[in-house]
Structure 1
């Protein structure tokens, strides 16, 4: 809106300037918020890809030990992995299923802190103990 005083100077009123400043500020905040959320997602993906092969390797080791020896070493059950100053907590458990003898269910969970959120990867597999004849 243009001031309608007697002079020929055209200027914006204070309310127009304040309103425009609020709109630009909100737009800037929304743009930066989406940018920072995408950075958080990239950090999560980076951490995920670092540890997913480690999780798969530990699951394979657990399956191998249960298939060959009918038991699993204690070193595989709980562990802590430190990568790039980030602490990853590993928990692994196994149980014999009820229906088939020597059929084991293996459950594993790897968790870590990603900012304010706690993130976890879970895997499940089966192993069959093969008795030697």
Structure 2
């Protein structure tokens, strides 16, 4: 439980650092799927305990990210459900579709961006 609370705080600091121009936290310093697999292999070489710790770390961070109020994620679905409950009627399907498509495109763009820097870090050329 203490680890999860610390991860939530770290996630908040990272996300707020990403939007602050004064911060040295940059998207290019984050890791995507390729970087995570690379780190998995590094932790596997160190030992099972470290590997297990890293897997738990990644899972907790993904769970926290999933709760962000971004339309494609579970947190976004909770926001839409709350809005619908407060309005007393469903949100227009066209609005939901456009919003979901936009955020899927943004998330995939983000993944491609961080993957590009993962590849450059792992295979410098």
Q: TM-score, normalised by structure 1?
A: 0.31
Higher strand share: 1
Higher helix share: 2
Q: TM-score, normalised by structure 2?
A: 0.33
